[in-house]
Every structure is written in C-alpha cells, then in structure tokens.
Amino acid sequence: MPIYLQRTFHLVLNFGLVLSCSMFSNAQTVPENISYTSIYDFLDELANDKVIILNSAIKPYSRQMIALKLAEAAKYPERLNSRQLKEVNFYFREYRIERSHNRNLPGDIDLYRQDDVFSLSLNPLGVNYCDSLFRLQARPIAGYRYYKNGNGHIVHRWEGAEVSGYVGKHWGFYANLRDNYQSSQLVRDSFFTLDQGALYKGDNGPTDFAEMRAGLSYTWDWGNISLEKENIEWGNNYHGANILSGRPPSFALIRLNVHPVRWLDFNYFHGWLVSQVIDSVRTYQHAHGTRKIYRDKYIAANMLTVTPWKYFQVSLGNSVIYSDIGVQPLYLIPFLFFKAVDYSKFANSNDAGQNAQMFFDISSRNIRHLHLYTSFFIDEISFSRFYDKDRNSNYISGKAGARVSNFPLSNIAFTAEYTRTNPMVYQHYIETTSFASNRYTLGHYLRDNSEEMFFSFSFRPLRGLLFQVSYTHARHGNNYVYGIDDAWGRPFMETVTWEEKLTEVCVQYEIIEKGMVFFRSQFSEITGQERRFTPELYWGKTTTIETGINLGW
C-alpha cells in the first residue's frame, strides 16, 4: 500500500474508533473563536465572582459550553448585579440554538419569522433555524478599522460570513470565511504584536489576505472529538498566552476533549503545521517556474486539568513538534509523555529526534473577585546545571498575574501580569521542528529573551459598554540563534535591542451580538536597534488613533 494511503488509513481508523465508542451522546460542540473577546471576558468575570466554575487555561470554549455557563449564571440572579443580568440575557440571544430553541426573545428585531422554526432578523443580524433534527445559524461578517498617527495612516477592512449548526444529537459543524484588505501590512511573523497572524499576498504596499476556519465535531456525554481548522490558546492570561498563543494563522487539527468526572478535564490535539521549509528533493521545475514543496511539519499536544478543590485548577501537559517521518502513530496516542517516546524511538539522538516541550498552569479563584494564575512553558531544563551561570540551559517562559473583578466597587476590574521568557525558548536548530507555524511562533508574542509588564483598569457602567486604560512595558534582548550561537549560559536581557512603553485608552460598545463600535488612543514609545519587530506606523514616539466598527468574528 502506498505510504500516503497508509497515513490516511491510520487517521480514519483512529478517528472512527473514537466515534464508534460514543453512540450515547446527547450534545454537540462548535468552538467560539478566541477573537470574540467580550464573551470570554464576561465568562471570566462570572468565574472570578464565583458564579460559575471555568477552566480558562484551555481555549477556545465551545458555544455549547458558553450557553450552559450562561444558563448556570441565570439560575443565581441574586449573585449578579443589574448589568450582569442584562449581559446574560443579551448573550442568550446569540446562543439560542445551543439551547435548542429559536423563540422570539426580548430585544429581537425580526424581519420575518415562521413560528419558532425560522427567523430572519436585524437583531441578532442573520438567520436562525431550529427544528427537532437540525439547527442552523448564519451571520454576515464585515468590519472597518482606521489607524492614524504622525507616521501615516492605515485602512483595514474585511467582509465574509459565518455558519454554525447541529445535526441530530451528536454532530456539530461550522465555517467562517473572511476576506481582508490592508493599505499597509500591520502583522508579520517578525512583528511583536498580539494581532492575529496573517498570510499576505505580496510583500509591501496595499495587500489583501483571506482567512477561513471550519470544523466538524462529534460529541458524547463526557467528551467530544473534532476535525477543525482553528486557533488554539493554552495558558491563563489577560495579555498573551505563553504556552500556545493562538496568534499564528489557523491550522488543521484533530482535537479531543474528555471530561469523565467533575474534577478532571483532558485535552489533546494533533495538528498539521506549515513549515515553509523547502523540500529540495521534491521541489521541481515546471513550464512557468518552480513548483515549491514544503517539508511536512506536525504538532501533538495534551493538557490534563485537575480540580483538587472547588475554584482551584492545576493543568499539566506536554507537546512535540515533529517532521520528516509522516504522521506518526505514536503521537496519535493522546495521553503520551512525548519526550520519553522521542528518546526511545530515535535512540536519544537530537539530530534524529524531534522537539518536545512541557508546561503547567495553575489557576485559583478561591477568593471571591480575585483570580490568581501562573503558567510555565519548559523547552529545556537541566537541574544539575540550573544555577551554573556559564552552562545552564534554562529554556523557560514564565507568567504570573492577578485580576480583581467587581471589588471594591461593582463593574470595575484591575489586572497585573508579568511575563519573562529566557533566551532560546521556542527555538530549535532544526528549522522543521521549531515551535512555529508559517514562521509565527506558537508561544508568546515577544518570543525568547524578553519580558513584559502589563497593567489595566476597566470600567463597565452599562451592558456592552467598556472603558479601559492599560499600560504595557515590553523589552526584548539579544537575538540569539539556536544552532549558531552557543546554547548554554546565555544571559537574560544582556542588551536591550527593542523596547516599548505603551499607554492605551479604549472605549467600545457592543450594540448587537458580535456587533460593536470602538475607539482606541495609543501613546507609545518604541526604541532600540531592531526596527524589524515593529510596523513602520508605530516606530518611535507616536500618538495613534484607532477607530472602527466590527460585525461578526
């Protein structure tokens, strides 16, 4: 049998085995993309107030889970203030088909309605359909952003559509497509930015790019499995995760989640990354040029979350980036410790082996209104040389932070977060096994040899209205290259090559579900030797005005 057929057979077999073991399912799963930050922030607020229990280390959440958490919060109106009650009812309109109905709700503006089965509405904007077998939601996507400062201005606009739905009691599906235009590039794999990564057509000047996410899932009582093209974020954070950031362009993956008991949650995925490393053997000439073939690149990752007591969670996990061996059946086993497998399969040879990582995350909401969290990403560590200044290989990224919500006054929140990433983290001297996809790092947006302090104050006086003031101080040090520079004993931040001091004032109002207007003013100073980490619009000392409208995510 040809090798590509063998690989396909293995994937179908593994996917089918899990499905065949789950014929008693009664729910479905469709992810809500991490870009819809308002619902993520609201659920976080409810969890901090001890209204709901939330595993915020693993994102995206499913729309079904969001609907369940909103329904859970609605059971305890005495724990909610008046704004929070309005927020719950507001989001119920967006997640109605997840609650298996299409009834007319307060605030709906229907253009056409056929009983409780079909509706075409202005609020929420789009189409809803719900019967005993099939549920569907379709929404338009559109948006416009305008950036301007003393260095120039940039226009970003986009349009598209999203569809999500459920068939029977087991299956879920979704598709999200948008086409983007930017008058100048704001996102590259080299830029230090939290914005979603993009793959532009062309190198400079006005450009456009498309992004599509989609998936098919099967759910049972205590878990689900899905085939998706999606963004994955792991690790508690309020300003950039340091385990999996979700920033690279979405990639194809098989994702598994099981939740057999209340105190245990297990997540696993196997993903098809984009190496952008030319396979010189398979690349060939054609009539009009060169057919480029990239080397295959994959990721397998798992995370086990244990809740030893209420509101306290400990998550442990590991991952492996691998290439040159096709889809490896070993890495399709969800609960493996991948580094141990790598040692045994490749005779403990770094040149023959793959690139494995470990990580853990701790989250505590035991004190009402207070969220304490920390997460660590361990690329490599040697305890025998841990304190040796000249020979250590402590390739570690650490994050710690706290958020206080609705204390001492309602509707306010304070956040403080610190991230430090040592030299060489996320790198590898074999390019096809680096911790990246499309050359965007999968980890923290500042990459290795960097640190960040982030502080914010937010005020939500009305349903959907947010005022936020934040300050970020980020620094990046020497640009060591693993495999060229000596890997041991590299000092942290010996020379600061890039530094940003940013104060930001933001006002946004979510008028309808997934429809908002916003205004942002940024006062920034970016200095250093390395201009390649920053779009030209933001270089130096600038005051940037950003405004726009967004419909759909």
Report the share of the chain in percent with pLDDT over 70.
94
Contact status, residue 214 vs residue 175, Cβ threshold 8 Å? yes
- Taking 70 as the threshold, does the pLDDT of residue 20 lie above it? no
Of 180, 185, 194, 147, nearest in space to 536 by CA:
185
Amino acid letter for position 169:
K
Distance CA 528, CA 540 (A): 9
String of b and e for 101-139 (b: at least 16 CB within 10 Å)?
ebeeeeebeeeebeeeeebebeebbbbbbbeeeebbbeb
**Helix (H), strand (E) at residue 16:** helix 3-20
Distance CA 539, CA 510 (A): 31
Model pLDDT for residues 105-122, shown as the tens digit of each residue:
888 899 999 999 999 999
CB atoms within 10 A of CB 214: 18
Model pLDDT for residues 311-335, shown as the tens digit of each residue:
999 999 999 999 999 999 999 999 9
Distance CA 187, CA 198 (A): 6
> pLDDT class for 287, splitting at 50, 70, 90?
confident
* CA torsion through residues 191, 194, 195, 201, sign: positive
Amino acid letter for position 183:
S
Give the pLDDT of residue 69.
97
* CA torsion through residues 309, 313, 314, 319, sign: positive
Contact status, residue 380 vs residue 433, Cβ threshold 8 Å? no
Give the pLDDT of residue 11.
43
Provide φ and ψ at 268, rounded to 5°.
Answer: -150, 145
Provide φ and ψ at 10, rounded to 5°.
Answer: -60, -45
> pLDDT class for 38, splitting at 50, 70, 90?
very high
Contact status, residue 500 vs residue 524, Cβ threshold 8 Å? yes
Give the pLDDT of residue 391.
72
Distance CA 352, CA 322 (A): 11
Contact status, residue 156 vs residue 182, Cβ threshold 8 Å? yes
Mean pLDDT of the chain: 91
- Taking 60 as the threshold, does the pLDDT of residue 101 lie above it? yes
Give the pLDDT of residue 214.
97
- Taking 90 as the threshold, does the pLDDT of residue 552 lie above it? no
Contact status, residue 187 vs residue 196, Cβ threshold 8 Å? yes
Give the pLDDT of residue 15.
43
Q: Which of 120-124, 238-242, 490-494 is the most confident on average?
A: 238-242
Amino acid letter for position 445:
Y
Distance CA 230, CA 225 (A): 14
Distance CA 448, CA 425 (A): 5
Write the DSSP symbol of residue 33. P
Query: What count of Cα atoms within 13 Å lies in the side-chain half-sphere of residue 203?
Result: 0
- Taking 70 as the threshold, does the pLDDT of residue 25 lie above it? no
- The 3-state DSSP class for residue 550 equals strand
Q: Which residue has the higher pLDDT, 349 or 44?
A: 44
- The 3-state DSSP class for residue 186 equals coil
> pLDDT class for 213, splitting at 50, 70, 90?
very high
> pLDDT class for 347, splitting at 50, 70, 90?
low
> Of 2-6, 51-55, 221-225, which gets the smallest average pLDDT?
2-6
Distance CA 472, CA 4 (A): 48
Model pLDDT for residues 125-160, shown as the tens digit of each residue:
999 999 999 999 999 999 999 999 999 999 999 999
- Tell the burial category of 23 from Cβ atoms under 10 Å away from its Cβ (0-12, 13-18, 19+): exposed
Give the pLDDT of residue 341.
84
- Taking 50 as the threshold, does the pLDDT of residue 10 lie above it? no
Contact status, residue 127 vs residue 119, Cβ threshold 8 Å? yes
Distance CA 379, CA 318 (A): 10
> pLDDT class for 18, splitting at 50, 70, 90?
very low
Distance CA 464, CA 107 (A): 14
**Average pLDDT, stretch 452-470?**
97
Of 247, 205, 233, 331, nearest in space to 32 by CA:
233
Model pLDDT for residues 510-548, shown as the tens digit of each residue:
999 999 999 999 999 999 999 999 999 999 999 999 999
Q: Taking the model in full, what pTM does it have?
A: 0.91
Of 36, 43, 141, 90, nearest in space to 552 by CA:
141
- Taking 50 as the threshold, does the pLDDT of residue 14 lie above it? no
Distance CA 234, CA 360 (A): 10
Distance CA 128, CA 163 (A): 10
Question: What CATH number labels 3-95+133-551?
Answer: 2.40.160.130
- Taking 60 as the threshold, does the pLDDT of residue 188 lie above it? yes
**Average pLDDT, stretch 52-73?**
96
Distance CA 137, CA 129 (A): 6
Provide φ and ψ at 351, rounded to 5°.
Answer: -70, -30
Of 425, 375, 350, 420, nearest in space to 395 by CA:
425
Cross-strand bridge partners of residue 157: 144, 181
**Average pLDDT, stretch 231-237?**
98
Per-residue tokens: 304: 């086990």
